[in-house]
């Protein structure tokens, strides 16, 4: 049984319908793992600032919310690009009827 990294769990929670592709990309791509790590850190920071009563909390929430949206877009684009690739890295053939 393998231990799932917290940053991977965060991504799987956000994109539950793409579990297989996420796990594949996470295993194969250092860049994808880095984006997952950034996304996890951003969600943790946003959680902190959402609970904070500090004077600059509102501004920090806005900043981290925007960053989170950018990272989600990057993750989504990455997953879309690799949607038609099998586990060996070969492009899947589309069958038209």
pTM of the model: 0.80
pLDDT-derived band at 2 (thresholds 50, 70, 90) equals: low
- Rg of the chain taking only CA atoms, in angstroms: 16
Q: Report the pLDDT value the prediction gives residue 6, as an integer from 0 to 100.
A: 86
Q: Report the pLDDT value the prediction gives residue 41, as an integer from 0 to 100.
A: 96
Q: Report the pLDDT value the prediction gives residue 5, as an integer from 0 to 100.
A: 84
pLDDT per residue as tens digits for the range 18-58: 999 999 999 999 999 999 999 999 999 999 999 999 999 99
| Ranges of H-type helices in 1-97 | 6-14, 19-28, 30-51, 57-81
Q: Report the pLDDT value the prediction gives residue 89, as an integer from 0 to 100.
A: 58
| Residue 60 clears pLDDT 80, i.e. is over it | yes
Among 42, 48, 97, 49, residue whose Cα is nearest residue 75: 42
């Amino acid at each position: 049984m393998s231990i799932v990294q917290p940053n991977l769990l965060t991504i799987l929670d956000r994109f539950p319908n793409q579990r297989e592709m996420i796990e594949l990309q996470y295993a194969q791509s250092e860049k994808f793992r880095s984006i997952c790590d950034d996304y996890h850190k951003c969600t943790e920071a946003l959680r902190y600032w959402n609970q904070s009563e500090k004077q600059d909390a509102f501004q920090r929430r806005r900043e981290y919310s925007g960053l989170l949206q950018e990272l989600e877009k990057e993750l989504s684009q990455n997953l879309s690009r690799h949607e038609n690739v099998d586990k060996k890295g070969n492009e899947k053939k589309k069958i038209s009827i």
